Amino acid sequence: MTPEEKEILRKTYELSEENNHILKGIRNSNRWGTIFKVIYWVTIIGVAIGAFYYVQPYVDMATKAYKSIQGDLNGVKSVVNSAPVSLNKILNKSN
């Protein structure tokens, strides 16, 4: 082997070592990125579920209050709708 060929082979070896080092760094970076993404999403989903369980009693109370108000409004509506009929009956009896 000539000295020029040895030099080319040595440079090729150094480049392959450098590329191997860079590729290992990229692979490790991707692994850590994936791990942090999983941790990120697990945290977000966990906080959302925790918030749901924390807020659920208040939502239930608000729903009950809404249904109660809705029932009261339906009662008022039925009284208002029956008022003209009752008023006509009272006026007709006095005549």
Q: What is the rounded average pLDDT of the residues 2-14? A: 94
Kindly report the average pLDDT of the chain as a whole number: 89
Chain centroid offset of residue 82 CA: 48
Q: How confident is the model at residue 91 (pLDDT cuts 50, 70, 90)?
A: low
What's the full length of the chain, in residues? 95
Look at the pTM and tell me if it is higher than 0.75.
Answer: no
Per-residue confidence (pLDDT) for residue 46, from 0 to 100? 95
| pLDDT tens track for 68-80 | 999 888 887 777 7
